[in-house]
Chains A and B, each alone.
Chain A
């Protein structure tokens, strides 16, 4: 196990940022910590780095089976990439990257030529060979991000930690850098942990996604698992758009509004409240109900601008409903605003309090 976090709790005054969190990361894995602000993801990252110390008496952190809980950040050999890069503004790009090599104790410090060679190598790795002499203020946001990454890699880190690495960049640069980071990780294969609040980023870049909420880990799995088999309502809501309906379950049936379907996971006689979640792309629109469980709704707005068409409808009880469908299907249907239609669910997820979530239909 490359990184192991065991039973860590961290409080700031009254606020409990992390609550008994445990996590194991394998050698060479790229893990994303995903969650809203205040979920504890950045605190966990900073504890991994040694920039924060877990509460006394709570668990610890180990790298490669070596306990590092009480090791100061400088001794842990981690590469930390800060959200706003934290480049040294008075040093050139070259000097920024050379910094971790120059501050080593004299006996471990590489020679002048060696430092130069290593910095050049790193500049090439992050595709910035020509800019060594420039200062951070003369670089674009994406370039600064890459310098910060090269500087962190100069430490020869056992673990690379990235705090919202693309948070401060505009959408297009972000997209480019994501792909670039993915390729870079395949090339150098250093164990990496990335913090983000952007679910798309986490799903796209990471091998594994750890969804956090209110100081706890909600779910830990592959991008596919957390997206398609969410372990909790929170994960369901946080990863992508979702339509939420409040209904009930009773004797093997689930129902909400005018829609009812089989739900064999709740065979009990006693009626229970339940929440039904349906992703927009898991819904389809039909002109007639044809006896299939469906929901009557009126078309409100149509937006075919994009890779798929978005249709906003209103149910009879006045709730908005979003449907995402392929453009072909959209053209075939030829919907018009105000039209009364039937929404059919290809999949839905029912959460009953105190019962593990189950997939239905």
Chain B
């Protein structure tokens, strides 16, 4: 993209004229339009059109039919379960992510790079495999399944399994977001806080947390979006029991397979709205983070 800067220049008759200075990295106009064209076409085909299609299908039989889809108790149960799962998985990963990032960024210990690799496993592994891991651990033919079943605890084909699978697939988000930022910020401020008499908790709450809050929020937003939208891992452990173990993405699939398109896309439209809301929030937070980074850079340059 070309950037043009305006510079004041006094013209011969004494009036001030504006001159547009071309930057050397500017592309020629046709190349610029070609690049923009390709990008816009691609984005429309693969993002905007499908997103619009979701809403078009959802409202095909009118607002009444759309709203009726949400009066189905099974749909309501799916929404409730999705919210519950996210409400457990996101805080759990918030705590885990902060703890992991804290120890990775602020301390030196043996096995640190191994820990970083472990955190990345859910990104590297297919969600279906993640689901199967839990089947292997807690299923009736699994390691702990029979033992748990004797005590009347059901994990697989029940809410606990869904929550566990969701926690597994979402746990890198917060940690991954925080580690680079915390490493860059270093430990000097924490050392200063401790030397000034602050306890470990005071140091965390008054010094570390304010410095990472935007990155933390960013990680939480991404983590939440994935928790609500997760299909693969949850599908394996859920058992697809209507009204009981179906989350929103699973419910959408069932409705679609039953040719109940309006209901399927109505529920899907909620997920799409979630995605849009996530994008808006993400942009706002990114903007805040950028500001923080710029400030940090200015601070560094001046010193």
Q: How far is the CA of A140 from the CA of B211 in the complex (A)?
A: 21
Establish whether residues B295 and A137, one from each chain, have CB atoms under 8 Å apart when the complex forms. yes
Q: How far is the CA of A141 from the CA of B303 in the complex (A)?
A: 5
Establish whether residues A88 and B195, one from each chain, have CB atoms under 8 Å apart when the complex forms. no
How many inter-chain residue pairs (CB < 8 Å) link A and B?
74
Within 8 Å by CB of B191, from A51, A137, A141, A154, lies: A51
Select from chain B the residue with minimum beta-carbon distance to A72: B194
Neighbouring B residues of A144 by C-beta, 8 Å? 303
> How many whole Å from B300's CB to the nearest CB in chain A?
9
Establish whether residues B189 and A137, one from each chain, have CB atoms under 8 Å apart when the complex forms. no
Q: Which of B191, B192, B198 has the most CB of A within 10 A?
A: B192
Which of these binds chain B: A96-104, A253-261, A342-350, A351-359? A96-104
Contact with B along A103-128 (1 / 0, CB 8 A): 11000000000000000000000000
Establish whether residues B303 and A49, one from each chain, have CB atoms under 8 Å apart when the complex forms. no
Number of interface residues of B (CB under 8 A): 22
Establish whether residues A155 and B303, one from each chain, have CB atoms under 8 Å apart when the complex forms. no
> How many whole Å from B296's CB to the nearest CB in chain A?
7
Establish whether residues A103 and B195, one from each chain, have CB atoms under 8 Å apart when the complex forms. no
Is A94 in the interface zone, CB < 8 Å from B?
Answer: no
Establish whether residues B299 and A80, one from each chain, have CB atoms under 8 Å apart when the complex forms. no
B194-214 contacts to A (CB < 8 Å): 194-199, 202, 206-207, 210-211
A interface, how many residues as a size bin? 20 to 34
Within 8 Å by CB of A86, from B189, B197, B199, B296, lies: B189
Select from chain A the residue with minimum beta-carbon distance to B299: A137
Label chain A's interface by main secondary structure.
loop
Within 8 Å by CB of A82, from B192, B199, B296, B299, lies: B192
Neighbouring A residues of B188 by C-beta, 8 Å? 82, 84, 86
A-B contact pairs, 23 of them (CB 8 A): A49-B195, A73-B195, A74-B194, A74-B199, A80-B195, A84-B188, A86-B191, A87-B189, A88-B189, A88-B193, A88-B206, A88-B207, A89-B189, A89-B295, A89-B299, A91-B210, A99-B206, A100-B197, A103-B193, A103-B206, A137-B298, A137-B302, A140-B302
Interface residues of B (CB under 8 A from A): 188-189, 191-199, 202, 206-207, 210-211, 295-296, 298-299, 302-303
